[in-house]
Amino acid sequence: MAATSEQIAKLRTAYQAELAGGTDRFFLPRRTGCPWCLGPDLRVKLRTVDHVQRKPGRFVLDECLSCGHVFQNPRLSQEGLDFYYRDFYDGLGAETTARMFEGRGSEKRFQRSVRALLPYTRPRRWLDVGTAHGHFPASAGKLLPRTRFDGLDMGESVLLARRQGRITEAHQGQLTDLAEGMAGRYDAVSMFHYLEHTLDPHSELAAARTALDHGGHLLIEVPDPESLTGRLLGNLWMPWFQPQHLNFIPLSNLCDRLTGLGFTVVAAERTDAHIPVDLVCAVWFLLGRVLPPDDVPWAATRPTRAAHAARWALVWAAAPFLLAAYGADLLLDPLLRRSRFSNAYRVIARRD
């Protein structure tokens, strides 16, 4: 059910109190070295805003000239993360976010990922890290009815996933804190578009290794910072997804780190992991720049009736362009996923 204006008005008081001091305190001091290789040579890759929720704030992604790692700099503080994540996966945004992972498109994508793993193993116990509402385990379970799926996430969505029967056990918290307690328990761990959200991907990979049994497999899918679409669309490229995405790891860096941790990389590829939404999202982000704002609690005032009507008139007027862009995403999909325009990659690694 969509939030009522009364609910939004109530939240507005809290958001406005939080924003009264500005957004500077949502950021840590700027880093002078690369968080991946510690190299000192950085350059600004792009500057952008929150295109999705349109919360206030400006964000910068830096690129390391030594290793190609791309990261948010300055990075959000814990207070900043709390502010920008609020009402996205839960609260006001819960329904919209859950809807993004429902439906045939997501199910087919998730099942492709499962099929990619099957040549190497048929897991009995599988942990999905960053499971949100448990949509991956729900889709994967249809292909692997005998596999037990557990889920891990920070938010309350993981408890909902258990109540709805999408996972058997819910682990609420950080993998890096919980891994010791589940050491060697899983023969598959998946991380779908999870690592890019984390503060320290290296610790996450080490924790995944701890949770895996010997011979167990780790399945990772993340945005590809080397994608040509990312270069072409600049800050309109959906996978840059600021401010939530903190780290973007080039494929070869991830493979090297996994090898260093005692994994054997058994598959690394771009084709199959592509998600065909770049063009429709870019058009929506462009539109977001001219649309009168929606009624959101992080805006100081509620939009007037005229502004509200103008917003919806513009959305309807733009609908054919959005549909055309989505059509182009689907039409170009077979071509893009086979080229460096693919927007994501997948790595499967075995714990030795």
Structure tokens at 138: 């729900």
User: Of 108, 90, 73, which Cα lies nearest the Cα of 158?
Assistant: 90
Among 34, 170, 205, 258, binds Zn ion (CB under 5 A): 34
Among 13, 14, 39, 118, binds Zn ion (CB under 5 A): 39
- State the Cα–Cα distance between residues 150 and 162, nearest whole angstrom: 9
Strand order across the beta sheet in which 212-223 lies: 170-172, 148-153, 125-129, 186-192, 212-223, 344-351, 263-269
For the window 91-110, what string marks contact with Zn ion as x by the rule CB under 5 A? --------------------
Q: Give me the residues paired with residue 150 across strands.
A: 127
Among 36, 136, 149, 285, binds Zn ion (CB under 5 A): 36
Question: What 3-state DSSP class applies to 21?
Answer: coil
Which segments of 195-253 are extended strands (E)?
Answer: 212-223, 247-248
Would you say 222 or 279 has its CB closer to Zn ion?
222
For the window 132-161, what string marks contact with Zn ion as x by the rule CB under 5 A? ------------------------------
Would you say 101 or 248 has its CB closer to Zn ion?
248
Could you tell me the smallest distance in angstroms from the CB atom of residue 35 to Zn ion?
8
Could you tell me the smallest distance in angstroms from the CB atom of residue 120 to Zn ion?
30
Residue 241 binding Zn ion, by CB under 5 A = no
Residue 15 binding Zn ion, by CB under 5 A = no
Phi first, then psi, for residue 149 (nearest 5°) are -105, 125
- State the Cα–Cα distance between residues 146 and 191, nearest whole angstrom: 21
Bond preceding residue 334 cis, omega within 30 of 0:
no
Would you say 38 or 183 has its CB closer to Zn ion?
38
Could you tell me the smallest distance in angstroms from the CB atom of residue 261 to Zn ion?
18
Would you say 62 or 153 has its CB closer to Zn ion?
62
Would you say 64 or 281 has its CB closer to Zn ion?
64
The C-alpha R_g of the chain, in whole angstroms, comes to 20
Residues 43-72 close enough to bind Zn ion by CB under 5 A: 64, 66-67, 69
Indicate the DSSP class of residue 292: P
Residue 226 binding Zn ion, by CB under 5 A = no
Where does this chain bind Zn ion (CB under 5 A)? Answer: 34, 36-37, 39, 64, 66-67, 69
